[in-house]
Structure 1
């Protein structure tokens, strides 16, 4: 020890930590995008974080052709309908893999020629004035751009009545369930599809809360992988998957439950919706609007996920099946779907509302943390926050100081959540019986967390009784 003489002060680290709060309901959307319309075509199997429609459009492109480009549906719902951010997008449409070469003869009218094909990759476009003539030079012999419908517009700077064009176009119809499921490239180790869920936190510092794949989630294999990946993100974190019932098969509400059970859409972290939702000419998958309804509801309640999305507004004017037939549901029919663990929409009081609190695990499961959507979301969020907050203590010396630091921090956090109404109560304990000496010597310590989240007031019974004693008021 060095020799000291005098008075001095040293600083010790604060024993009470600040909780690192996990993102309550961060949506991660997997699908296809018209990247030929983007500023660059590089965003293939990459994480794109967008805080606005313009950001998403610049990175991924946009078109109203949602049947082929499913991420555009999510962009529209997130930023135009519900106005929530951030949203994470993963495009699996690869122009090197999902493409098709083609030719066209395009007439020149009003000094411009408009190609019929969509999805044309401009860097592959070849323009000629005749089939056997020399290729024209861009910006010298013609200029090219996209119109609002995503079609190529060629303006010749030379005399021409028609143009012969060759090109490679995106072929979104070639994207399969396997592309959404993805995996790891054997040669490069690059992650693809749903495997990229594990790259979200290391890359962005945000934990996925909701996993969505419009259109593709009605494929049982895709839904099964979504459910599995969401339950164990980066080994430690938890998320929920949002899936759709196939309305081509379950075209009426009485078929929805049979389809759900036959295809095993019964996960405790799986939220299942039926049918399709229409707004004017646009058609949304239920999972798309449910995802951003959940995100917006959390944002409206302090970024806490304890409030149910049920009985909250959806952006729609009608319900549809895959054939385009309009669907009408009354409260009793919607209640039947809810009793089967299926969320739907109801236009009964105050316009169109999300209707249903139950996860796919209901009614087979009776565990409260597994059958209510807001309880499941809050449970996931609390678990993720515990990991984030206590991770900094890993590899610290096993001491009373470390134990008290975790106990004090997390108990104060629970008290704060209780005062805000996020939970009914919560506590953390360090129990002797759960921490034998052999484990402590081996560097293992255990904390027991106890928490109770509020369940949604799903059934309010008001008992009305005739009271004849009030006839005495006639004599007052």
Structure 2
């Protein structure tokens, strides 16, 4: 070429986009009367196929009349109309129902169909559950799949008494899992779980993924299925006992209405005891990884490393300003990046973060004094 040619080189930091964290993954059964209704249900919700719902109200009209799908969608819709990915499973009895719900990892059926949801629908489920179908075996499988999806699981506590439910909770140690007990006053056994799924999506939309499920008004409920003693100033109540055992429970709020009460997960790692800590970790993992796809396969130079670091740190600064994070920082550690590894195209970046913990315990110190009478006397004498 005889002249000047200009190459446009794309360098510098990139913006890390927010994650769609309130996408619900719902495992459910459904049935309809024979004939056209059954054909319409099968067409709308084929067995073991992830189906994307963007209009929950419309989906309610296609959900049949039997099974758990219809009441689950109604409970979710009472809270919000989010994106829902439905996997319909066959209706059965006892252990056969558990087998149908859990499905097969190899065939991507049942719960495992959620792993294929992103490829099929473009959305990854971030809040998952099987309302009314969540036996111990099903809940264990949900927690396992949630670990792969970096999702939150809500499941019912099983037991007729507080003692039994507390013993049941000891079967789990997954940070992705929250156990809920008892149920709302509703004939549907999965009502508390279904409404938790919807409320979680609503909170993500209005507050953010850093806010726990606890102490947010629940819509569409009229009471609690069990008698529980609660006093916000008493550490020895039924509700306090459940919370101390990492069980999310239900209360009539002192300020009015009904709410979920409890911030704890089933984690055996104290750093992930709070739901917001787990969700913050999950969201950061996916946002940062997705936000750095542009850097993969680019020449590994000092400029690229600096761009990667600044991309991550810029996101941390933004989240701190939004109140979603207390702090965070990414850095390059020479001890973890030998010349041989860098020459082989391998780069290690460290980052840490501090999630925003929920204000779980507030102490108020009350004192009685006569000192304000001095102010009264002075005012009268003026």
- TM-score normalised to structure 2 length: 0.89
* SS of residue paired to 2:30: coil
How far the C-alpha of 1:396 sits from its partner, in A, is 2.3
* Correspondence list, 1:47-62, <5 A: 47-57=50-60, 60-62=62-64
1:24 paired residue among 21, 25, 31: 21
Larger radius of gyration: 1
Asked if 1:451 is matched to 2:353, the reply is: yes
Q: Which has the higher helix share?
A: 2
Q: Check conservation: 1:22, 1:207, Cα contact below 8 A.
A: no
* SS of residue paired to 1:473: helix
Assess, with a 3 A threshold, how the Cα gap between structure 1 residues 393 and 265 changes in structure 2: closer, same or farther.
Answer: same
1:180 paired residue among 78, 91, 101: 101
1:196-226 residue CA offsets vs partner (Å, 9 max, x unmatched): 1221222233222112011222x22211111
Asked if 1:232 is matched to 2:144, the reply is: no
Q: Partner of 1:272 in structure 2?
A: 179
* SS of residue paired to 1:438: helix
Asked if 1:73 is matched to 2:77, the reply is: no
Q: For the aligned residues, what is the CA RMSD?
A: 2.2
Q: Partner of 1:335 in structure 2?
A: 240
Rounded to whole Å, the distance in 1 between the matches of 2:39 and 2:181 is: 32
Equivalent residues, number = 365
1:347 paired residue among 244, 252, 263: 252
Rounded to whole Å, the distance in 1 between the matches of 2:335 and 2:100 is: 49
Asked if 1:13 is matched to 2:14, the reply is: no
Q: Partner of 1:323 in structure 2?
A: none
Q: Check conservation: 2:229, 2:239, Cα contact below 8 A.
A: yes
Q: Partner of 1:92 in structure 2?
A: 89
Q: Which runs of 5+ in 2 are unaligned?
A: 232-236
* SS of residue paired to 1:286: helix
Rounded to whole Å, the distance in 2 between the matches of 1:225 and 1:184 is: 10
* SS of residue paired to 2:330: strand
* Correspondence list, 1:435-450, <5 A: 435-450=337-352
Q: Which runs of 5+ in 1 are unaligned?
A: 99-170, 321-325
Rounded to whole Å, the distance in 2 between the matches of 1:21 and 1:223 is: 29
Q: Partner of 2:210 in structure 1?
A: 306
Q: Check conservation: 1:427, 1:451, Cα contact below 8 A.
A: yes
* SS of residue paired to 2:334: coil
How far the C-alpha of 1:421 sits from its partner, in A, is 0.5
Asked if 1:206 is matched to 2:123, the reply is: yes
Q: Partner of 1:360 in structure 2?
A: 266
Rounded to whole Å, the distance in 1 between the matches of 2:161 and 2:210 is: 31
Q: Partner of 2:364 in structure 1?
A: 462
